[in-house]
Chains A and B, each alone.
Chain A
Amino acid sequence: KAGVTQTPRYLIKTRGQQVTLSCSPISGHRSVSWYQQTPGQGLQFLFEYFSETQRNKGNFPGRFSGRQFSNSRSEMNVSTLELGDSALYLCASSLRTGGENEQYFGPGTRLTVT
């Protein structure tokens, strides 16, 4: 079974721009969660999508948004980029939602904002 895939792997953007990241979960997995990882803050939860609905949301501003499609693929969008948005963005998929499921991480998208 193929693992979680994320595109693109690396991205350089300028302040004020917007960016869209994509995540394809493991086949059969219906939950996709997004995390931001920075040296200062560690791994922080952004949001979770299950059956095309946002189930949970972390403490991030409204500039961070996402969606999930009927095939469980998910996209994450960040508008009006700031320097502090430079980070590794990881998506994780699991079979179901509910807190008892192993989450498998993709390789991440390394975003640099200049």
Chain B
Amino acid sequence: GQNIDQPTEMTATEGAIVQINCTYQTSGFNGLFWYQQHAGEAPTFLSYNVLDGLEEKGRFSSFLSRSKGYSYLLLKELQMKDSASYLCAVTRRGYNKLIFGAGTRLAVHP
């Protein structure tokens, strides 16, 4: 079966750093995606990890540990516009199907 867990809500202060965790139990795990979704809009791609380690892309970084079934998304120098839902999603080998977690709603306040 598939099980993906991430915190429901988080709050952080503008300019700070926040880490959003995601744990998964997925048979045939292939890779892990992070998407950002603002209210009323479509998800937008942030990152993709298939190997262990950290991938850095500007203010956003994503980490994966395949042996631990664990990933995190790190957002630095938070801005008000980063207030959104962050969705963790996994794929299984050979399948293009994204299996999503419930999402983490991040609120950034001044």
Contact = CB atoms under 8 A, between A and B. Distances in A.
Contact of A107 (B30, B42, B45, B96): B42
A94 B89 CA distance: 15
Interface string A7-35: 00000000000000000000000010101
A98 B96 contact: yes
B74 interface: no
Interface residues of A, number: 27
Contact of A105 (B43, B91, B99, B102): B43
Contacts of B107: none
Contacts of B89: 43
B51 to A, nearest CB: 11
Nearest to B47: A102
B59 interface: no
Contact of A42 (B31, B91, B103): B103
B45 A103 contact: yes
Contact of A102 (B41, B45, B95, B103): B45
Given A33-B97, A42-B103, A94-B96, A99 B43 contact: no
B94 to A, nearest CB: 6
Contact of A33 (B30, B41, B98): B98
Given A33-B97, A100-B50, 15 more contacts: A42-B103, A45-B97, A48-B96, A50-B96, A55-B96, A56-B95, A56-B96, A56-B97, A99-B31, A99-B95, A99-B97, A100-B48, A104-B45, A106-B42, A107-B42
Interface of A: 31, 33, 35, 42-45, 48, 50, 55-56, 58, 90, 92, 94, 97-108
Interface of B: 30-31, 33, 35, 41-45, 48, 50, 87, 89, 91-103
